[in-house]
Amino acid sequence: MCVSSWKKKSDVSCLWCTLSKASLFEPFLVKIQKLGYQQLTKIQKICIPPALQGYDILGSSKTGSGKTLCFVIPVLQKLYSHQWCLNDALFGIVLVPIRELGLQIYDFFNHFSSFAFLKILLLLGSFSKKKKKKLGQKKKKIKFTNISLTIATPGRLLQTIVDTSFFTVDALKIFVVDEADRILDAGFQTFFSTFLPFLPKKKQILLFSATLNSKLKNLARFNFRKPFFGSVREKKKKYKSAVISNPIFPEVSSNIFQYYTLVSPEKKIDRLFSFLKSHFHKKTIVFFSTKKQVQFFYLVFQKLRLNFNLFPIYGNLNQNKRIQNLIRFAKTKNGILFSTDLLARGIDFSSIDWILQMDCPPTIETYLHRIGRTGRLSEIGKTLLFLNYFEIRFLDIIQEHQIQISSIRFNQQQIFSIQERCSTMIKKNKTLFVLAHDAFFSYLRFVFFQTDKKTFAVEKIIWEEMAAAFGLVVPYRKEKEKKRKENQPPITYSYL
């Protein structure tokens, strides 16, 4: 067993020197350099050489550190060295937790589509009932031939294996799992215990994750033949190493500048609108707690006919629309993406300027994964967390993990009030009125079922203010207004 860590100050290493020593096929190296990769990051220098030598890899490093290249290069080199041709069986599988990440990886592999041995099949998402019927009627016509690599989500992969007799893994040579901890956390631990025994014994397994947990380590221990553990943990001065080196939490890039602001629930929509209006030329991701909130705020901003380049992504959104929105947002230079935690991990968007979190995250891990969508590699990113006054305890949790976050306050002259306009519009529009109620109650359910009852204190919530955040008018009680002012802590701000 080989265990690696990185303690040197240099973040990168010469791409040509490292990979040429590892006997990488030269056309691959030239193509990678044309894509803009001139140097290797820490995790790439640690994991790529042993992966090319056939070791089973468990790699872990902070988000945005370039883990994708750690398995793309070994897969391509292995395909070339085995001289795979169109008549051969399936060579490799790349497993991903969500379809958006699968599309992103597919786009990366697609840069090498000029090589004849690379033929990719996408198996992402699940079938609807209608599609299942059509698939059952056309089973004889479906043939998974001339495919060297499959990029799949766990459910769809199992479904395809069960429903079709043409998809076989008898000759599989390499099995890759990206964001492995997320797949395990989603309840797919039984998937690995049932699926891995069916794979050939002589196969290479590559597992990559931003965090390490006991489930992931056990998965590696029981299934690796030639194990290699590669981990990048940065030491930070002034902080206790026991806290910073905790493998359960993802590393925070030093290129990310973090801010928070305290705001009453009914004023959130004004703050959101004002921020987006003053940063319309930036590329921003806005995270909400529930899909109903994403639907509601997206529809509100659409009805207001604002000149924003908006894209929504959430769980129940039609697959074609999700893919379309993902691609369009990735290509735009100044778009705004409304999303749930569906895109909080694994997805790599370039040049994200701001990450906004409209609700308090359920855990510190969720907070870190959300902000990890910006500040990728050497880019600079900023994040802003909106907190209600009763959620201020979350700041203590952030400080406990030695994370530096600064307070800001919006310039009052730059705040635009759209609250009354939204309330009037919701009263007149029945569809919007129903969606506002659904979003309101979905957020209440989210708060109620949180395990951290000190941060999400239901008894401290002023429901009239919370309803007003969704444009709903509820009879107000003066006693609660007085109580809120008494509980409001004095905060020193710096202007945004």
Q: Are 61 and 232 within 8 A, CB to CB?
A: yes
Tokens of 363: 């855990």
| Domains 2-243 and 255-495 fall in the same CATH topology | yes
- DSSP calls for 384-440: EEEE-GGGTHHHHHHHHTT---EEEE--GGG----HHHHHHHHHH-HHHHHHHHHHH
CA–CA separation, 374 and 64 (whole Å): 8
CA–CA separation, 48 and 69 (whole Å): 8
Name the residue with tokens 């919530």: 461
Classify strands 12-14 and 39-41 as parallel, antiparallel or unpaired: antiparallel
Return per-residue pLDDT of the chain as tens, 496 residues.
444 443 334 444 566 566 666 677 788 888 888 888 878 888 888 999 899 999 999 998 877 788 899 999 999 999 988 888 877 888 999 999 988 899 999 999 999 988 888 889 999 876 555 555 554 544 444 455 678 999 999 888 888 887 777 788 888 999 999 988 888 887 788 888 888 888 898 899 999 988 888 888 888 888 899 999 988 876 554 433 333 344 455 667 778 999 999 999 989 999 999 999 889 899 999 999 999 999 999 999 988 877 889 999 998 888 888 888 988 998 898 899 999 998 988 788 888 999 999 999 999 989 998 998 898 777 889 999 999 988 999 999 998 988 999 998 888 888 888 888 898 999 898 999 999 999 999 999 999 999 999 899 888 888 888 898 998 876 444 444 555 555 555 544 444 4
CA–CA separation, 84 and 27 (whole Å): 17
Domain spans in the chain, listed from the N-terminal domain onward? 2-243, 255-495
- DSSP calls for 267-281: GHHHHHHHHHHHTTT
Q: Are 78 and 173 within 8 A, CB to CB?
A: yes
296 CB-side CA count, 13 A: 28
Whole-number CA gyration radius for the chain: 24
Q: Which residues pair with 121 in a beta bridge?
A: 150
Task: Give the SS3 label for residue 370.
Answer: helix
The whole model's pTM is what?
A: 0.74
Contacts with 282 (C-beta within 8 Å, 6 or more apart), sequence order: 334, 353, 354
Question: What CATH number labels 255-495?
Answer: 3.40.50.300
CA–CA separation, 251 and 264 (whole Å): 31
CA–CA separation, 417 and 89 (whole Å): 61
Superfamily of the domain at 2-243: P-loop containing nucleotide triphosphate hydrolases (3.40.50.300)
What residue ranges in 224-353 does DSSP mark as E strands?
227-231, 256-262, 284-287, 310-313, 336-339
Q: What sign does the dihedral 283-286-287-292 (CA atoms) show?
A: negative
Task: Give the SS3 label for residue 455.
Answer: coil
